[in-house]
Amino acid sequence: MADSKREIERKYEATAQTRLPDLSRVAGVSAVVHRGVSELDAVYHDTEDLRLAAGSLTLRRRTGGSDAGWHLKFPVASGIRDELQEPLSDTLPRSFAGLLRSRLRGSELVPVVRLRTARDVHHLVDAEGEMLAEVAVDTVRAERLTGGDGTAAWTEIEVELAENGDPALLDAVERRLRKAGVRPSVLPSKLARALAETAPERNRKKGTGGTTARRTAGDHVLAYIRRQAEAIVALDPAVRRDLPDSVHQMRVATRRLRSALRTYRRILDRSVTDPVGDELKWLAAELGIDRDQEVLDARLLARLAALPRTLVLGPVHSRLRIWSAARRGGSRHRTVAVLDGKRYLALLECLDTLLAAPPLLPDASRAPERALPRAVLKEYARLAARVGRALELPPGHDRDLALHDARKAAKRARYAAEAARPALGKPAERFAARMKAVQTLLGDHQDSVVARDALRTLAAQAHAAGESAFTWGLLYGREEAAASAGERELPGVWRRASRPRVRAALEG
């Protein structure tokens, strides 16, 4: 596994004449220690169409300095990236190839830019001599290797926070730099600047003053679909790295995308989108194996933690761990195998094709204020019918199934409104919030149904092993009570969500 660190840094414009101000006057900084100048030589790799750069990813092979090797950086937030490192080698490390598979999909990596940097390093240290941040004055020479033969040169200042450092220090350093006339860099990275300044003149991007205006219903739906498709690709490496909540977020993007294809069937031709939707359903199911168990484990552990110790009889925690481990066995490896499989990569290609040549229907050219509300309200009508049916049924298995169906309809209605929000504004936002309230209540009810099934199994296993089943029975009763409370609450939540004025606002 590659070494990983969180990189929190800021970059500033400079010239050969720029001098660092006295940073020892920054609060908390006791001294500025000069660490000397090192020569760095880095070759940045990407596809010929710069797919990695388009996703703000950086892949380089660097020699010189204290961290020679392969470096792969993923964006986290503005000024924050996760940097993974592998030892120096002639070929791309296998771990990096996996993390880049969703973007490369068989495309060849080529050297695109070479950067030679003279780095003058200073450490900001506290009274105990511990490093708080590193300040580097970099003199950079860039050479284009693919897509042109341009060169560029510049000087910049880079301030990187030490591990576990206080981000407030970066603000204090920036204030000192600004006082000295030093301003933040316009571009976020050396690679971005090198690509911009070494590109052939005809390929340099001109300012457009903003994104292209979305004028039609089709424009808005495609923009939403593109965001979800991009989210799937962007989350792929996080899932492979087993980052917290990554599987859940990828599954949500998959479901949102599938929901949009189904909801806006008068915008996009179903004969084209239905097969894509089927593949998205498959992917969501594969991702759900581990996620569903994670949710269930968290619920049961929370229920156990809420019990007085005197009511926890027998090896309850041990049995829960064993049962959970058996159900989770191999699920992570299975998820990564899915992401490495031909079916998943083919789905990503299908999404690219769909967005490149969307199967637009006549309604796609209509004004969004006319076409989108109709689709959202159709999803509402489906939800209303399912809630009505569930409320008519007596408590029990059939009602549980009906409430589960209503939960899925509430989620689709919410996603439909979220997709329409850029066009419809506050009315769509308020409608989505009401649908989310219904979805949350029904989701908790379904979680209780699943938890009760698990508790019944755990009680049977405990009994068969000669253990007390008392605690499992007690938890079952509490889950049953929670589900009943949710069912009693549903009519009021639905009444608020289904107020006519909430829907009328969607149509202006």
Confidence of residue 393 (pLDDT cuts 50, 70, 90): very high
Tokens 């204020």, residue located: 369
What's the pLDDT tens digit per position in 196-214?
999 887 565 554 444 556 6
Take residue 206 and report the two structure tokens written for it.
């001109």
- With CA atoms as reference, report the closest residue to 236 among 332, 336, 329, 330: 336
pTM (2 d.p.): 0.88
- With CA atoms as reference, report the closest residue to 86 among 181, 2, 13, 152: 2
Residue 467 in this model has a pLDDT that exceeds 50: yes
Query: Strand, helix or coil at 176?
Result: helix
Give me the pLDDT at residue 212, please: 57
Confidence of residue 134 (pLDDT cuts 50, 70, 90): very high
Average pLDDT over residues 456-472: 96
Residue 66 in this model has a pLDDT that exceeds 90: no
Take residue 483 and report the two structure tokens written for it.
């589900």
* Rg, the chain, Cα only: 28
Give me the pLDDT at residue 326, please: 83
HSE-CB for 503 with a 13 A CA cutoff = 17
Tokens 């083919």, residue located: 346
Distance of CA 491 to the CA centre of its chain: 34
What's the pLDDT tens digit per position in 180-193?
999 999 999 999 99
- With CA atoms as reference, report the closest residue to 122 among 29, 235, 236: 29
Is the CB of residue 62 less than 8 Å from the CB of residue 41? Answer: yes
Percentage of the residues of the chain whose pLDDT score is greater than 70: 97
Question: Could you say which DSSP state residue 5 is in?
Answer: E
Q: What is the DSSP string of 92-134?
A: --HHHHHHTHHHHTTPPPEEEEEEEEEEEEEEEE-TTS-EEEE
Average pLDDT over residues 61-67: 92
What's the pLDDT tens digit per position in 242-286?
898 899 999 999 999 999 999 999 999 999 999 999 999 999 999
Take residue 271 and report the two structure tokens written for it.
């004969």
Question: What number does CATH give the domain 217-507?
Answer: 1.40.20.10
Task: Give me the torsion for CA of 499, 502, 507, 508, rounded to 10°.
Answer: 120
Residue 433 in this model has a pLDDT that exceeds 80: yes
Q: Does domain 3-203 have CATH number 2.40.50.140?
A: no
Question: Could you say which DSSP state residue 498 is in?
Answer: T
The mean-pLDDT minimum among 198-207, 326-335, 496-505 falls in 198-207
Percentage of the residues of the chain whose pLDDT score is greater than 90: 87
Which residues are CB-contacts of 467 (< 8 A; sequence separation ≥ 6)?
A: 314, 315, 319
Q: CA 72, CA 117: separation in Å to the nearest integer?
A: 18
**CA end-to-end span of the chain, whole Å?**
54
Cβ neighbours, 10 Å, residue 359: 13
Cβ neighbours, 10 Å, residue 489: 13
Give me the pLDDT at residue 332, please: 75
Q: CA 370, CA 381: separation in Å to the nearest integer?
A: 17
Indicate the domain borders of the chain: 3-203, 217-507
Average pLDDT, the chain: 93
Q: CA 145, CA 130: separation in Å to the nearest integer?
A: 40
What's the pLDDT tens digit per position in 7-45?
999 999 999 899 999 999 999 999 999 999 999 999 999
Residue 490 in this model has a pLDDT that exceeds 80: yes
Cβ neighbours, 10 Å, residue 49: 10
What's the pLDDT tens digit per position in 349-385?
999 999 999 999 999 999 999 999 999 999 999 999 9
